[in-house]
Structure 1
């Protein structure tokens, strides 16, 4: 069997999307392509974002390959499955444009939360709920109704919606060799705002043991699991050999697992720097010093609220006081020598604005960057969605969440990394408007 994996050239015009817009390694496609190849099938990876390919060139490559399966994600990179563009405009465009007799497969956070809506909107034959790597290669060998996470429209028009999510055993994700990927075209160093170099995104662990109120990970990448350290080191050495000197770990939460210290000790011996997202309450002075020795240059910490009451309301399960959090953030910057330490805040009624400003000013005086508190997007599948709307996601969940989020802003209040005149999902997904672009 032949599998074509396509990472679209993503567009965010008019979107409320607040993630990074630069290209990132499509690890979900790289891992799936590797599993397909290991199972004796033929994969083709086309990364239109990284390689700056026009849609016509993507169509040509897929047509020439003549695949049995065409796989397209609904969001850019695993890193942004937690905060995806709410609309499906881009995958809809690609599924419509690529003329093929192949079985069309859509993966991603939208498919995990609202599989019937994704089938309808994209015209895909199959969507996969959860982590897709295992399910994708099983499509060639098993009856679809027996595969975890696989949802599709039967011949009589009825829907088969898998009652389970696809979950991957991380030990089966053997080291990527990147022989099918244009590493040299990828210059972006994620979450680094100074200097020069060449970056890569890798994955050490998947999932998170916490269940924060706002976090969108329950329907994919939920249970915490580590990959073997040797596999990560093999990937790090592979990208270093091709000119990479910075690795960003896409993990939901870096610093939890039992093998983190071992990994950091090995990284400290290599000519590479690292960055990641984490919780500051996972670290102390000794482990922050280890981060410094491991050449950490970017550390983004989810603080969310400056009060214990606010963090409790968000179900952070944080056992540190705000004073201790402050101490460690400053230590990471000034003593451990991490150049970029960031503290992220979320809008909560438990925090006084004047107190927030004082806390921000104090940390900024020590060189720690602090975000402005931002409203939460109630992503379908997150605890926030269920508590906001009192129900599980239905086929209108993304539109409902998007409308609610838009109502929290006045014109001009949007983040500087968002579109200042965002449009409704209906407008963004309009076939007529997309054809006119």
Structure 2
């Protein structure tokens, strides 16, 4: 079959401001198995430009495809755009069948299929094997009811889902379709040729706001040596200089992560690695952090979420402010940059809480910070806690963590926004922080920090402009439950647990 994989353009500020773009790993991961099955597959990455709707439809229909697969890593905020594209394609070429995948459609499949005829099928959970089975069924006219992990409309137009699929036990069993992209077009971290990869999927921790934990069902990791070899091949054959790990928590298994670090050191390739992890894991690995740096790790984003212990307890983060501060200090000792995420917008927050958070961030002394707004997902336990809160941002494209979407009891959106902007400037423009940007002893890290500072400055002014002239959402809207629907906490795990464990897990767990 002729199959088009499509990465829709995203409206998030972070996608528009930087001059760098990263390849869509999820679509490439699905594309590899489809190519191996003999299908003619091509990728359209609409982030470049970004492409307009008319051009997107023209490119999709360029060779009269049989199937269009749409997916995006920021699937909630990208949903309106994906829906528009699917509708335009269907209006122009009704014979093209549209498959939709990602976190948002996995849980909102009922609404996706019931509210619009634009999508024919929804892939729920991991897509590598499920898409292969779905395409095989469509090619041979087999009954869709026998394909696990999908949703579709029956002959009467009723949306229904098949039994859940199993999470993939062996993540190395499916190859990534790197041939679908031109590596020279993708970069990050200031123009370095880059790709996105996953060492692991899932997270073993219980943060009740996380929209990813249940999607992946169980934490699993790739074979450490095979993963290092793939990175080395990408560097030697494609010139890749930087790996952006898309894992929620790649360091969960100390033994597995240590095996990967040693394998990377053995490969001896000058590749830089950035990603996200937990402060607790950094503190746990204090004795091997020199291997992190030697293997190429140059920055960790630490999901601290909040600087208040009571709030951390509310969201079941599991960490502490003490371990957060200690992790940043340890990373700095080994010339690894730290980016601290700081989430605001909790219902009871006051200016005094923001002030305390600012002072706490100063004591942490991170190299970079990223301020985010609490954004609920219907399938998480946190949604049940926030179900009665008022929605003030009805545009789903803004549900990207960079916009306030829920009303607060004590702070007007203007007050919260300006407070966050001032805190960002105060943290990033401290003499100590500026000195690191200008005088860091590692020239590579100095380059990285200067790139991030330039990009952050552009984003900061863009956010001010958007807030002042483009946002008109301060009027109170419906409750969160009325806006999104009833909580789906019982459906949080999107797949069945893997039937068997990866061979290396027994040694690495």
TM range (shorter): 0.7 to 0.9
Counterpart of 2:148 in structure 1 is 148
Q: Determine which of 413, 417, 432 is the counterpart of 1:410.
A: 413
| Closer, same or farther: CA 371–156 of 1 in aligned 2, 3 Å | closer
Task: Supply the distance in 2 between the matched residues of 1:412 and 1:291 (Cα, whole angstroms).
Answer: 41
Partner of 1:255: 251
Q: Does the 8 Å CA contact 2:128/2:174 hold for their aligned counterparts?
A: no
- Post-superposition, which runs of at least 4 consecutive aligned residues in structure 1 deviate over 6 A? 396-399, 401-404
Cα deviation for residue 148 of structure 1 reads: 2.3
Asked if structure 2 preserves the Cα contact closer than 8 Å seen for 1:51 and 1:182, the reply is no
Tell me how far apart the structure 1 counterparts of residues 106 and 226 of structure 2 sit (CA, whole Å). Answer: 28
Deviation of 1:54 (Å): 5.0
Q: What is aligned with 1:176?
A: 176
Say how many residue pairs are matched. 396
Other structure's SS at 2:6 match: strand
Contact 1:379/1:398 (<8 A) preserved: no
> 1:305 corresponds to which residue?
306
| Aligned residues of 1:201 and 1:250 also touching (Cα < 8 A) | yes
Q: 2:102 aligns with which of 79, 86, 108?
A: 108
Distance, in Å, in 2 between the alignment partners of 1:255 and 1:49 is 30
Alignment of 1:322-361 (within 5 A): 322-333=321-332, 335-338=333-336, 340-347=337-344, 352-361=353-362
- d(CA) in 1 for partners of 2:48, 2:170: 26
Distance in 2 of aligned mates of 1:103 and 1:160 = 17
Structure 1: gaps (5+ residues): 190-194, 391-395, 425-437
- Is 1:157 the equivalent of 2:157? yes
User: Cα RMSD (Å) of the superposition?
Assistant: 3.2
Q: Which runs of 5+ in 2 are unaligned?
A: 138-142, 389-393, 422-459, 474-509
1:350-402 CA-to-partner distances (Å, cap 9, x unmatched) read 994444232222233xx533445x44111221221133228xxxxx9979x89
The answer to whether the 8 Å contact 1:27/1:202 transfers is yes
Shift of 1:196: 4.7
Alpha-carbon displacement from aligned partner over 1:303-340 (angstroms, at most 9, x marks no partner):
1233443322211223xx5334312211211x1111x2
Q: 1:69 to 1:133 in 2, by over 3 A?
A: same
* 2:219 aligned residue: 224
The whole-number CA distance in structure 1 between the counterparts of 2:146 and 2:79 is: 27
The yes-or-no answer on 1:377 pairing with 2:378 is no
Q: Deviations over 1:182-240 (max 9, x none)?
A: 11111233xxxxx5522221111111111202111255223211122344234313431
TM-score between both structures, scaled by the size of structure 2? 0.69
Q: Identify the residue that residue 132 of structure 2 maps to in structure 1.
A: 137
Bigger Rg over Cα: 2
1:221/1:328 CA distance change after superposition, 3 Å: same
Q: Post-superposition shift, 1:404?
A: 8.8
The answer on whether the counterparts of 1:3 and 1:44 sit within 8 Å (CA) in structure 2 is yes
CA distance in 2, matches of 1:398, 1:379: 12
CA–CA distance in 2 between the matches of 1:223 and 1:136? 20
CA distance in 2, matches of 1:173, 1:52: 33
